[in-house]
């Protein structure tokens, strides 16, 4: 992924359209001028990424995205490139019609696509088929063209959004272009960074097309794109300190057969700097926990009464990893939630909450994956994944807490509707124990005095960046405990 630090605002499609309209009506920028700027920005991006490009295939739709493509084709031919243009239809609409006419007027040929269309080979393919407006599965000739573009042997550049991707929700309801790079115009569309978007966009570039910051700023963003700068939320430590100043996490869980889950959670809390970490687990697991990590204070939990004093001593509870849903786990879960202590709730803690909704203590955080989120919302995981932004906000509002909706492009939401997105992480993190580590990371940060929102944002970023560093170029086979070293490095200010 490219450096995204120059803009952290994520927009809905409607918000970007409103920025466009403000630029046209308030700043006097003609739509055709913005289209020319988009085409020039795309050509500049293309030549920077692939400096030896000599030939292009440009696929143009009927709307403004196609207009950008027609203009890019004209500018590329002027730059002495060989350009082949394939159009979806016989005509274009709006400002795109003028761009198409300009291409034809200067001698440019247009092949109108049909069922037998096959794209010629070239150095780079430019996708200007659909822009941000598509919300349904492409069909007919459009679907055929997307298939042809994906079969193309050269590099693929998408204009604004890969064709077939819902720019608002990040899902692809049907055929979708797999781009090597995408240049987004005006502002980041939020769907580029989550769900199917992370697999379709390739490297990302942004060009505001010369629209001024005051115009862009006049339209509120929908979400914030998180980056490593969230580390500033964790202040440097003075030397004259003691462990009692950095909080006490109590990790509760680890039923028979699942002791590893709570053990991972507990060490993760230590690795991000919690002063003290205790573990309440089955008697059979106490020896394993202490023997493998003597810095943890493990104790047997045989019922709600046995955890009353440990809960009272703790500043934050990490509840759910390995807890199970049988009588033992349910009794501990109920006692922990009724204690009033801030809690980071995950795994079976969430499954129990879905079956028995309880008010969560103030400053609490839940960390569901899509399946757990679906149970909490009374739907299926496909529904959650079809609009992760809406699901995260609904969870936060319903349970009146901060939510981390895990997955590709993890989302952080609060009950007021605030939303942030973490663009880091890799497929190697789809392995056992990764969620348990995240629970401990967030609990450890919460124990050090961060509020729920800050702990969730920083914890999600720290966990994902640690995963990226641990994976390097070998994500397959990475295990959850591989994150502990990179986690420690990151929270101590090592951002590289």
Cβ(196)–Cβ(172) below 8 Å: yes
Q: Does the pLDDT value for residue 2 go beyond 70?
A: no
User: What's the average model confidence in pLDDT over 198-209?
Assistant: 96
User: What's the average model confidence in pLDDT over 356-371?
Assistant: 97
User: What's the average model confidence in pLDDT over 351-370?
Assistant: 97
For the chain, percent of residues with pLDDT exceeding 70? 98
User: What's the average model confidence in pLDDT over 432-446?
Assistant: 98
Out of 5-19, 98-112, 426-440, least confident range = 5-19
The strand pair at 111-112 and 419-421 is best described as unpaired
* Measured distance CA(469)–CA(396) in Å, rounded: 30
User: What's the average model confidence in pLDDT over 412-419?
Assistant: 98
pLDDT band at 23 (very low <50, low <70, confident <90, very high): very high
Closest CA to 463 of 308, 183, 433: 433
Out of 4-8, 50-54, 237-241, 389-393, least confident range = 4-8
Radius of gyration of the chain (CA): 26
**pLDDT tens-digit readout, 105-125:** 999 999 999 999 999 999 999
* Measured distance CA(88)–CA(60) in Å, rounded: 6
pTM of the model: 0.95
Q: Does the pLDDT value for residue 3 go beyond 50?
A: no
Confidence at residue 87, expressed as pLDDT on a 0 to 100 scale: 98
User: What's the average model confidence in pLDDT over 5-11?
Assistant: 78
Q: What is the mean pLDDT of the chain?
A: 96
**Angle, CA of 255, 256 and 258, to the nearest 5°:** 70
Confidence at residue 29, expressed as pLDDT on a 0 to 100 scale: 86
The strand pair at 365-366 and 402-405 is best described as parallel
Q: Does the pLDDT value for residue 24 go beyond 50?
A: yes
Q: Does the pLDDT value for residue 195 go beyond 50?
A: yes
Q: Does the pLDDT value for residue 291 go beyond 90?
A: yes
* Measured distance CA(378)–CA(495) in Å, rounded: 39
Q: Does the pLDDT value for residue 6 go beyond 70?
A: no
Cβ(64)–Cβ(95) below 8 Å: yes
pLDDT band at 7 (very low <50, low <70, confident <90, very high): confident
pLDDT band at 261 (very low <50, low <70, confident <90, very high): very high
User: What's the average model confidence in pLDDT over 214-224?
Assistant: 93
pLDDT band at 35 (very low <50, low <70, confident <90, very high): very high
Confidence at residue 4, expressed as pLDDT on a 0 to 100 scale: 42
Confidence at residue 342, expressed as pLDDT on a 0 to 100 scale: 98
Confidence at residue 495, expressed as pLDDT on a 0 to 100 scale: 60
Confidence at residue 134, expressed as pLDDT on a 0 to 100 scale: 86
């Amino acid at each position: 992924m490219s450096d995204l630090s120059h803009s952290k605002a994520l927009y809905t499609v409607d918000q970007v359209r409103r920025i466009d309209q403000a630029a046209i009506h308030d700043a006097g920028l003609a739509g055709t001028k913005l289209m020319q700027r988009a085409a020039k920005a795309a050509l500049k991006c293309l030549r920077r990424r692939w400096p030896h490009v000599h030939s292009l295939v440009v696929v143009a739709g009927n709307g403004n995205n196609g207009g950008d493509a027609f203009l890019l084709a004209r500018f590329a031919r002027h730059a002495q490139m060989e350009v082949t243009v394939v159009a979806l239809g016989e005509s274009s609409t709006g400002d795109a019609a003028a761009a198409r006419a300009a291409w034809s007027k200067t001698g440019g040929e247009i092949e109108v696509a049909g069922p037998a269309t096959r794209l010629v080979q070239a150095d780079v393919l430019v996708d200007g088929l659909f822009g941000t407006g598509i919300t349904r599965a492409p069909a007919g000739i459009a679907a055929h063209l997307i298939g042809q573009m994906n079969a193309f042997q050269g590099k693929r550049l998408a204009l604004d959004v890969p064709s077939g991707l819902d720019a608002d929700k990040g899902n692809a309801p049907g055929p979708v272009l797999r781009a090597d790079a995408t240049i987004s115009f005006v502002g980041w569309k939020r769907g580029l960074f989550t769900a199917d978007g992370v697999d379709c966009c390739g490297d990302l570039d942004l060009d505001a097309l010369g629209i001024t910051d005051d115009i862009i700023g006049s339209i509120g963003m929908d979400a914030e794109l998180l980056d490593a700068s969230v580390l500033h939320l964790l202040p440097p430590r003075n030397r004259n300190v003691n462990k009692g100043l950095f909080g006490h996490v109590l990790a509760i869980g680890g039923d028979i057969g699942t002791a590893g889950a709570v053990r991972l959670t507990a060490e993760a809390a230590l690795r991000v700097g919690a002063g003290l970490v205790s573990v309440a687990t089955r008697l059979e697991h106490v020896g394993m926990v202490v023997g493998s990590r003597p810095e943890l204070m493990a104790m047997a939990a045989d019922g709600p009464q046995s955890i009353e004093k440990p809960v009272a001593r703790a500043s934050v509870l990490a509840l759910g990893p390995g807890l199970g849903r049988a009588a033992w786990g349910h009794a501990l879960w109920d006692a922990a939630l009724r204690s009033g202590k801030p809690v980071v709730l995950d795994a079976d803690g969430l499954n129990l909450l879905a079956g028995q909704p309880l008010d969560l203590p103030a400053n609490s955080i839940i960390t569901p994956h899509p399946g757990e989120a679906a149970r909490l919302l009374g739907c299926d995981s496909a529904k959650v994944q079809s609009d992760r932004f809406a699901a995260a906000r609904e969870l936060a509002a319903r349970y009146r807490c901060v939510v981390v909706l895990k997955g590709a492009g993890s989302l952080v939401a609060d009950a007021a509707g605030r939303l942030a997105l973490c663009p880091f992480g890799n497929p190697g993190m789809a392995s056992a124990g990764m969620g348990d580590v995240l629970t401990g990371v967030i609990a450890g940060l919460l124990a050090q005095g961060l509020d729920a929102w800050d702990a969730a944002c920083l914890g999600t970023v720290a966990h994902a960046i640690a995963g990226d560093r641990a994976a390097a170029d070998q994500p397959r086979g990475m295990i959850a405990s591989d994150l502990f070293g990179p986690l420690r490095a990151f929270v101590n200010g090592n951002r590289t």
